[in-house]
Amino acid sequence: MPNRWPVVPRQSCDDALGLLGKHRGLALVGADGTGKTTLADQIAERLGEKNPVRVKATATQAGVPFGAFGPLVEVHEVGKPAALIHSALESLLAQAQSTLILVDDAQLLDPLSASLVYQLARHGSARLIVTVRAGATLPSAVTALWEDGLLAKLDVGPLDEDETRSVLAELGESLDDEYRRTGGNPLELRLHLQTQSAATSLEPLVDAYLAELSPAARTVLGYLAVHQPLSRDDLIALTSKEAVEQAENAGAAAVFDSAVYAGHPLFAERVAHDADPADTRRLRTEILAQLTTQPHRHLGDRLGRAVLALDSDSPESVDDVVAAAQQALRLGDLTLSERLAGAALQRSERFDARLALSYALAWQGRGREADSVLAEVDAAALSEDEVMAWALPRAANQFWMLSEPERATAFLQNTRKRISTTAARLTLDALSATFAMNAGNVARALEIAGEVLADPEAEDMAVAWAASASALCSARMGRFDQVDALVQRALDAEHPGLLRFTVGLAQTTTLLMTGQPDAALEAAGAFTDFAELAQPGRAIGEVLLAQVLIAQKDPSAAAQVLGPAAATLERTGYSWGPLSLMYLTTALAQQGEIAESAKALSRADARHGTKSALFAPELGVARAWRLATVGEGTHAAIDAAREAARGAERSGQLGVAVWAWNEAARLGDPQAAAAIAKLGETVDCAFTR
């Protein structure tokens, strides 16, 4: 039996406590073996927190929504990311028995868990200490903890000379013997420990440690390398009580609240790396058999078992896999939903699996793949309800992702002929209204949507589409007094996918035009605070934020968020992609970035079309600012801004026309004031007043 894995108190505890005196939380970032977890425990002890709330992330849990938080949270499957996070936050804070929360190995958090940690930091009602592996690929919500100033960041470096001596003293002669046995020089290893990074020096230490574990303890670690944590009772059933005790005594396994984890993340990683795939599959099957003897314990348990079963010899029924894919979709875990639905389809041709897969792909912006999935459906064999479920996402893909608006509109009209119920037809009409809006026909969109909203038989999806389209059309037409009620009606409906951003753009536009920039910034921030969990949602939220920042004359900040956002949205077919590039062009041009604004404008022109015709005025204004930067004269820039404003007027977007004329005025147009005054007869806003 080897010596226990050495745990050496870090001398940087005083530095950490000093930072905590000025911040509500702390992120400890360092390589493996630098004692981040030990340091977190030291801090808790110094703060007098004997039983802090502990969250230990693992590679297994990283693939399951709220996997790291498991039994610590209770949420309702409401299908709205922001509501999910807020529900989990309230649940966690209500159950917490301590004012300190420790989150270990945050690089392994699933998106929902990472978002919850971010919201915990924002909430500020509990102290938060997070450990993070340096150099790992991190969830964006984790890096934002210190980038957004919510937590202080402390880089935890390698052990100093005194700390290294303590490690070597604890490892003792067994390490020297092991290093000699493998042909090494013990003195060389000791010097290496004192001078090299912890990540490099840990490899020989971990290998030597694992080699000395008893077979029984090694078996325990083998199970944990496949799936962790496991309850102590489950692990004993899989191995033996003696084996679990040996693993615990050696430090190869650690128990937290009756759940057993590997004593160090590297133990499980090294064992998993060296394992034979056939053995791993066998262990996975055995673990699954043990887990299925008990009911699901919490939200992530159901999906965790579904994932475990995928690569085992005991696959779940196709019905169960499809149900898990649908649950993952409702929870906003699009990657997991895609994986589960795809696995179900490989085993059986299922319409519901195909539908779940198409949504998971489409909401990731992978519309062409989604269209291919839907194209395999035999529409003639579908019931009327199935025709609706199939036709709506397919039409949306044709309009946005495939840039075939005429085909999408004709497809909807043909589908309508097969539908007999009023409610279903209203839903098709609501999507038609959305198409008309994006094509720039705001008056027609408002007319169709109004008919849908006036009909009591309209179902939630129809109301969501119609109300969100009406809200944005009203904002852009300058009917600002009508927007709030439409926004609320859209929010009250169970809206699918990314419709919430249409509502968001209606809100920010209205607030900016009515002279409420601070409220507009707050509204935009709600879409970028990691309530939006996955791309492209995060990027679209940043487009809303950039719109406000440009209006507040902060083009530098706008360009900073738009750079990565536009890159993400360009890979999708959404009309948000061209809009992001239009705003990016404007932001860069206003900073005098001649070459970069030219590139952005070229990309915007290339991707603009019928599906983004609504935003033609934004493209014209972007072109105007671009012309203003390149020495082509004020007249060319003013002409471009005038054309944008007049185009907005022709399309009925009178509110946007006021904005465009204001941009023309900023560029020096002497006619802009008169044009705005004339529009003031119809549009009541801060600019016309």
CA dist., res. 521 & res. 551, Å (int): 10
pLDDT confidence band for 495 (50 / 70 / 90): low
Residue 194 in domain: no
Q: What is the pLDDT of residue 35?
A: 80
Please say which residue of 420, 437, 452 terminates a domain: 420
pLDDT band at 133 (very low <50, low <70, confident <90, very high): very high
Q: Which of 420, 439, 463 is the last residue of a domain?
A: 420
Q: Are residues 305 and 330 in the same domain?
A: no
pLDDT band at 496 (very low <50, low <70, confident <90, very high): low
Measured between alpha carbons, how far is 330 from 315 in angstroms, rounded to an integer?
Answer: 22
Residue 280 pLDDT exceeds 70: yes
Mutual orientation of helices 537-551 and 499-513 as an angle, nearest 10°?
Answer: 10
At residue 203 the predicted structure's pLDDT band, cuts being 50, 70 and 90, is confident
Per-residue confidence (pLDDT) for residue 548, from 0 to 100? 96
The answer on 473 and 558 residing in a single domain is yes
Residue 424's closest CA among 386, 474, 375, 379? 386
Place of tokens 């940043």: 542
Q: Report whether pLDDT(77) > 70.
A: no
Please give the Cα distance from 434 to 437 (Å, whole number): 5
Count the neighbouring beta carbons within 10 Å of the beta carbon of residue 140. Answer: 17
Q: What sign does the CA torsion over 409, 413, 419, 423 have?
A: positive
Q: Once rounded to an integer, what is the mean pLDDT over residues 284-306?
A: 86
**Which of 387, 420, 453 is where one domain is finished?**
420
In a domain? residue 178: no
Cβ neighbours, 10 Å, residue 239: 19
- Mean pLDDT value of segment 653-673: 95
Specify the long-range contacts of residues 590-598, CB closer than 8 Å, at least 24 apart: 590/550, 590/555, 590/625, 591/555, 591/556, 591/559, 592/629, 593/559, 593/629, 594/629, 594/630, 597/625, 597/626, 597/629, 598/626, 598/630
Q: What single-letter amino acid sits at 579?
A: L
Residues 27 and 148 occupy one common structural domain: yes
pLDDT at 139 over 90: no
Same domain, 409 and 434: no
Residue 101 within a domain: yes
Identify whether residues 348 and 383 lie together within a single domain: yes
Residue 421: φ, ψ to 5°: -90, 145
User: Does 158 fall in a domain?
Assistant: yes
| pLDDT (tens digit per residue) in 42-68 | 888 888 888 888 889 998 888 888 888
Strands 259-262 and 253-256: antiparallel
42 and 113 housed in the same domain: yes
Average pLDDT value over all residues in the chain:
86
Return the CATH number at 64.
3.40.50.300
In a domain, 159, yes or no: yes
Percent of the chain with pLDDT over 70: 88
pLDDT of res. 161 = 67
Band of residue 163 on the pLDDT scale cut at 50, 70, 90: low
pLDDT band at 185 (very low <50, low <70, confident <90, very high): very low
Report the DSSP beta bridge partners of residue 103: 55, 130
pLDDT over 70 at 74, yes or no: yes
338 is written with which tokens?
Answer: 């895609």
Same-domain status, 95 and 110: yes
495 and 349 within one domain: no
Query: Helices (DSSP H) in 552-650: which residue ranges?
Result: 555-570, 576-590, 594-607, 616-629, 634-650
In a domain, 588, yes or no: yes
Q: Which of 257-261, 287-291, 579-583 has the least mean pLDDT?
A: 257-261
pLDDT of residue 641: 96
Q: Residue 556 maps to which CATH number? A: 1.25.40.10
Residue 165: which pLDDT band, with cuts at 50, 70 and 90?
low
**Mean pLDDT across the stretch 249-273?**
88
Note the pLDDT of residue 362. Answer: 83
Among 179-183, 442-446, 518-522, name the one with the lowest average pLDDT.
179-183
Q: Are residues 447 and 530 in the same domain?
A: yes
Q: How many domains is the chain built from?
A: 4
Q: Token pair of 616, please?
A: 């033609």
Q: Identity (one letter) of the amino acid at 156?
A: V
Q: What is the pLDDT of residue 189?
A: 47
- Are 385 and 528 in a shared domain? no
What is the mean pLDDT of the segment spanning 194-214? 68
The predicted model gives 135-143 an average pLDDT of 87
Tell me which of 404 and 497 has the higher pLDDT: 404
Least confident of 298-312, 529-543, 558-572, 615-629: 529-543
Residue 271 to residue 41: CA distance in whole angstroms: 26
- The per-residue pLDDT for 20 is 82
Q: What is the predicted pLDDT for the residue at 193?
A: 47
How are beta strands 253-256 and 127-133 bridged, if at all? unpaired
Q: In Å, what is the CA distance from 204 to each residue of 176, 178, 195, 198?
A: 11, 10, 15, 11
Q: What is the pLDDT of residues 7-45, one digit of tens each?
A: 656 667 878 888 887 888 899 998 887 788 888 888 888
Indicate if the pLDDT at residue 633 is higher than 60: yes
pLDDT score, position 8: 58
Burial (CB count <10 Å: 0-12, 13-18, 19+), residue 17: middle
Identify whether 687 is part of a domain.
no
Are residues 150 and 140 located together in one domain of the fold?
Answer: yes
391 and 457 in one domain?
no
In the block, tokens 């109004």 appear at 450
Q: Which residues pair with 360 in a beta bridge?
A: none
Residue 449 lies in a domain: yes
pLDDT tens string 95-109: 666 688 899 999 999
Burial of 481 (0-12, 13-18, 19+ CB in 10 A): exposed
The burial class, CB within 10 Å (0-12 / 13-18 / 19+), for 165 is: middle
**Which residues span the domain enclosing 381?**
317-420
Instruction: Report whether 192 contacts 226 (CB < 8 A).
Output: no
Q: Sheet containing 259-262: which strands, arranged edge to edge?
A: 230-231, 259-262, 253-256
Q: What is the mean pLDDT of residues 113-141?
A: 87
Long-range contacts of 488-495, Cβ-Cβ distance < 8 Å, separation of 24 or more: 489/453, 489/463, 490/463, 490/464, 493/460, 493/461, 493/463, 493/464, 493/467, 494/79, 494/80, 494/460, 494/461, 494/464, 495/460, 495/461, 495/464, 495/465, 495/468
pLDDT reading at 559 higher than 60: yes
**What pTM was computed for the model?**
0.77
Residue 492 above 90 pLDDT?
A: no
Selection from 4, 7, 69 nearest residue 42 by Cα: 7
Identify whether the C-beta of residue 350 lies closer than 8 Å to the C-beta of residue 390: no
**Could you tell me the two tokens for 313?**
């010899």
- Give residues with Cβ within 8 angstroms of 503, minimum separation 6: 467, 468, 471, 472, 487, 490, 491, 495
